[in-house]
Amino acid sequence: MEKLVVILLVLPLFCNGQTVDQTIQPHARGEDVVDAVIGRIRSSCILSDDKYFMKRIAAVETDYGKNSSPNNGGIWKVTNNILNSVINSCQTTTRTICNEILQTFNFDISKATFLQMDVPLYSGLTMYTYITNTITNIPTSSHSQALLWQAHIRPTGNTNMFIAKSSISFSCSAVKMELVFAIDASGSVGSDNFNSTLIFLTNVVRKLQIAPDMTRVAVIRFSHIATISFDLDTYYSVSSMTSKISSIKYTGGGTATYSAIDTARINVFKKARKNVPKVFVLVTDGYSNDKDLTVKAADTLKQNATTIFTIGVGSVNHQEMLAVASSPNCIHYYSLNSYSEIDGIISEIQRESCEAPVEVDMTSGLVNDTEIDNNPIPSGNETKTQTVHIQSSNTTDNSQNMTKVKVAVICGIVQVYASNTFKKPSAAFHAYSAIAIDGKPGWVQSAANQILFLSFFSRKRFDLATSACTHPHYNISINPPDEGVKIICKENGIARECTRNDITQSFGPLCGDDNIPNPCTKTNILNNIMRFKHPKSTTKYIQFLPRIALYTTAQIHAP
Ligand SMILES: *[C@@H]1O[C@H](CO)[C@@H](O)[C@H](O)[C@H]1NC(C)=O
Ligand SMILES: *[C@@H]1O[C@H](CO)[C@@H](O)[C@H](O)[C@H]1NC(C)=O
Ligand SMILES: *[C@@H]1O[C@H](CO)[C@@H](O)[C@H](O)[C@H]1NC(C)=O
Ligand SMILES: *[C@@H]1O[C@H](CO)[C@@H](O)[C@H](O)[C@H]1NC(C)=O
Ligand SMILES: *[C@@H]1O[C@H](CO)[C@@H](O)[C@H](O)[C@H]1NC(C)=O
Ligand SMILES: *[C@@H]1O[C@H](CO)[C@@H](O)[C@H](O)[C@H]1NC(C)=O
Ligand SMILES: *[C@@H]1O[C@H](CO)[C@@H](O)[C@H](O)[C@H]1NC(C)=O
- Cα–Cα distance between 392 and 419 in angstroms, integer? 14
Looking from the CA of residue 462, the nearest atom of ligand 4 is 13
Ordered by start, the domain boundaries in the chain are 5-12+485-555, 53-165, 177-354, 358-478
Nearest CA to 388 out of 445, 455, 457 is that of 455
Note the pLDDT of residue 556. Answer: 30
Looking at ligand 3, which residue's alpha carbon is closest to its atom 5? Answer: 398
Cβ < 6 A, ligand 6 pocket: 394, 399-401
As averages over each run of 10 residues, the pLDDT of the chain (559 residues) reads: 54 63 96 94 89 94 94 96 97 96 97 97 98 90 93 95 86 93 95 94 92 96 97 96 97 95 97 95 90 96 95 90 92 88 86 93 67 94 94 63 89 95 94 90 86 95 81 92 59 69 56 49 60 63 48 28
CATH 3.40.30 for domain 358-478: no
Bridge partners (DSSP) listed for residue 495: 490
Note the pLDDT of residue 553. Answer: 25
Residue range 177-354, CATH number: 3.40.50.410
Note the pLDDT of residue 1. Answer: 45
Ligand 2 centroid to residue 265 C-alpha, Å: 7
Looking at ligand 2, which residue's alpha carbon is closest to its atom 4? Answer: 270
Note the pLDDT of residue 66. Answer: 95
- Cα–Cα distance between 192 and 251 in angstroms, integer? 12
Note the pLDDT of residue 440. Answer: 83
Cβ < 6 A, ligand 2 pocket: 265, 269-270, 272, 304
Same fold: 177-354 with 358-478: no
- Cα–Cα distance between 244 and 542 in angstroms, integer? 59
267-270 long-range contacts (CB < 8 A, ≥24 apart) are: 267/228, 268/180, 268/218, 268/220, 268/228, 268/231, 268/232, 269/178, 269/180, 269/301, 269/304, 269/306
- Cα–Cα distance between 5 and 427 in angstroms, integer? 37
